[in-house]
Amino acid sequence: MFEKKMDRRSFIKTVAVGAVAAGASPVLFKEAAAAPVPNKWDKEADVVIIGAGAAGLMAAVQANTAGKKALILEKAANAFHSSSTISGGYFAAAGTKAQKAAGINDSVEKMYNDIQKFGGFMNYPHLLKLFCENSAEAYNFVYDNKLAFLRVEPTGGHGTPRAHRSKSFTGRDYIEALLKVIQDRKIAIEYNANVTRLFYDDKKQGVVGVEVTTKGKKSNVKASTSVILASGGFSGNVKKLDNWIPAYAGNGVVIGGSGSDGEGIMMAVRDVGTPTTHMQYSATYPMGIESGKRSGPMARYYFWTPLGAIIVNQEGKRYIDEFTPATKITPELAKQTGKVHYVVLDSAMWDAALKQYPAEVLFCLPSWSMDRVNEEIKKENVLFKADSIEEVATKAKIDPRNLAETVSRYNQYVDNKKDLDFGRKTLPNKLQKGPFYLVKMTFWTCLTLGGIRVNDKLQVLDAFDKVVKGLYAAGEAVGGIHGDTYLFGCAFGWAHTSGWIAGKNAVKG
């Protein structure tokens, strides 16, 4: 009924007014929604791509391969501020050349089942299928284009090793490889180009171009075939995260790329009336070190736990098997006092990890060198060190008797090779050699799982599940691929794969 009574333009206006009332960005909604198509275009391309993250760059390569003129519009000053670039670069894919070279036998079905199970069966099957069936092709493209590949790693939640790691331990390796392709093929890319509007043509019943704001100056770019929205999620926007994800609101490190502000998603809501989905889910890890307000590094605690480290809450008690996949620990952390917990290490574990990895890798931030780590230990804010367990506990305001009891109980489990409390399987070393260290951790949010709705061709859907012609979406801007919980490597893998497919489909208009 509603569908019949309302035409698109009045519906979009209603959505926009509702969004303003709900507190959406005043910048975005300060002008009337559903702006008329301009009479004059300043520029034209076949396929206009919004965002130069992994999804946008992959899409551009595909459009170029099909002989189309692609134009990438990126609002940052270069392509190295995106979530893709600063990510850990873990890329989940099944059946890749790298897996085959390592003798790993994987399949689309296994990957599909693992991700679906991990995501609580809340993933859209059509997107998951698309991802799993095409992940190897997308990965192989970057691999074949001089990706600085390191290894394929096993990781919790994936039944088969399929998390592809690159040499720098960041996504920058991928972005550099893709930018080289973009440069070699002379694909147009404009920086400082903030796309501020999608133009919907009522007569053509589709998106026909975009408005771009470059250093305060507006211009209109015609997309003669289609527009691809690859503008990322909202993990760089504290306010949106706190508004939409109540479980973690007000706490923890927020680390998304500077352009991950969710404005691209809201632009699609405003201009074509697409609904959002899965907005309350994020990849929030239990390992943020909040050394500044909502900022700081993270502790790759999973490099310490295989050496014997344990995790305790503010009461000094273990509350979980430390080998539970990280994103499954997070909801349990949300129930702990102060929403914090601590990694407990002895000096043998601390030193062994630092022999294997530099501080910058252990703490996942280039500015966290060993000097910085030592400074933080002196500050006694997030890192603590003392000769005895009781002393280190006191420094962190943990009950010293509780922590001493927890450690002695855990040490017995190591002796007996059985964790009677949480069934932890890896019990290699006792915590016994001082000085002892505590690393205080809380949430660390790096990506969002919600976004706009698309079909299996990655065409954007409107509020009535009808295709919005001329508009595709890819990467983190799309909601619903991960379900309720992100599985390692699947966002970066999805960004590349969905960009690859969106680029292939978008050339058809």
Among residues 24, 25, 46, 88, which is the contact residue for ligand FAD, using CB under 6 A? 88
Q: Say how far apart CA 16 and CA 120 lie, in whole Å.
A: 32
- Residue in the block written with tokens 């394929």: 152
Q: Does 86 bind ligand FAD (CB under 6 A)?
A: yes
Choose which of 62, 87, 96, 442 interacts with ligand FAD (CB under 6 A): 87
Closer CB to ligand FAD, 197 or 318, in the complex: 197
Touching ligand FAD, residues 429-458 (CB under 6 A) = 446-447
Decide if 129 contacts 109 (C-beta within 8 A): no
3-state secondary structure 450-496: CEECECCCCEEECCCCCEEEEEEECHHHECCCCCCCCCCCHHHHHHH
253 versus 431: smaller Cβ distance to ligand FAD: 253
Question: Which 162-181 residues touch ligand FAD, going by CB under 6 A?
Answer: 171
Nearer to ligand FAD, 268 or 468 (CB): 268
**Residue count (the chain):** 509
Residue type, 43: K
What number of chain residues touch ligand FAD (CB under 6 A)?
Answer: 44
Determine the interface stretch with ligand FAD among 141-149, 270-278, 373-381, 470-478 (rule: CB under 6 A).
Answer: 470-478
Give how far the C-alpha of residue 158 lies from the chain's centroid of Cα atoms, to the nearest Å.
Answer: 17
Output b/e per residue, 219-252; b: 16+ Cβ within 10 A: ebbbbbbbbbbbbbbbbbbbebbebbbebbeebb
Q: How far apart are CA 446 and CA 174, in angstroms?
A: 18
Report the distance separating Cα 100 and Cα 399, nearest Å.
51
C-beta of 382: minimal distance to ligand FAD in Å? Answer: 18
Stretch of 67-75, 335-343, 355-363, 419-427 lying at the interface with ligand FAD (CB under 6 A): 67-75
Chain centre to alpha carbon of residue 330: 15
Which of 28, 33, 74, 136 touches ligand FAD (CB under 6 A)?
74
Stretch that binds ligand FAD, among 88-96, 181-189, 198-206, 346-354 (CB under 6 A): 88-96
| Residue 54 makes contact with ligand FAD by CB under 6 A | yes
> Which is nearer to ligand FAD, 45 or 407 (by Cβ)?
45
Give the interface segment with ligand FAD, choosing from 215-223, 256-264, 452-460, 464-472 (CB under 6 A).
256-264
* Contacting range for ligand FAD; rule: CB under 6 A; set: 85-93, 375-383, 411-419, 460-468: 85-93
Shortest distance (Å) from residue 16 CB to ligand FAD: 17
As measured in angstroms, the least distance from the Cβ of 366 to ligand FAD is 12
Long-range contacts of 179-183 (CB under 8 A, 24+ apart): 179/57, 179/79, 180/145, 180/146, 181/57, 181/61, 181/145, 182/57, 182/60, 182/61, 182/72
- The residue at minimum Cβ distance from ligand FAD is 259
The residue among 206 and 489 lying less far from ligand FAD, judged by its C-beta, is 489
**Cβ neighbours around 417 below 10 Å, total:** 8
What DSSP element (H or E) covers 170?
A: none
- d(C-alpha 230, C-alpha 87), whole Å: 16
Q: Which stretch binds ligand FAD (CB under 6 A): 59-67, 250-258, 306-314, 326-334?
A: 250-258
Identified binder of ligand FAD from the candidate list 48, 93, 495, 506, rule CB under 6 A: 495
Measuring CA to CA, which residue among 224, 218, 227, 225 is closest to residue 198?
227
Q: Which of residues 199-238 bind ligand FAD (CB under 6 A)?
A: 230-232, 235
| Residue 108: other Cβ atoms inside 10 A | 16
Q: Does 297 bind ligand FAD (CB under 6 A)?
A: no
Min. distance of Cβ 219 from ligand FAD in angstroms? 13
CA dihedral for 210, 214, 218, 221, sign (positive or negative): negative
Min dist. Cβ of residue 152 to ligand FAD (A): 14
Reduced to 3 states, what is the DSSP secondary structure of residue 1?
Answer: coil
Q: Which of 46, 53, 296, 341 binds ligand FAD (CB under 6 A)?
A: 53
- Which residues are near ligand FAD by CB under 6 A? 50-56, 73-76, 82-84, 86-90, 171, 194-195, 230-232, 235, 255-257, 259-260, 263-264, 446-447, 475-477, 489-493, 495
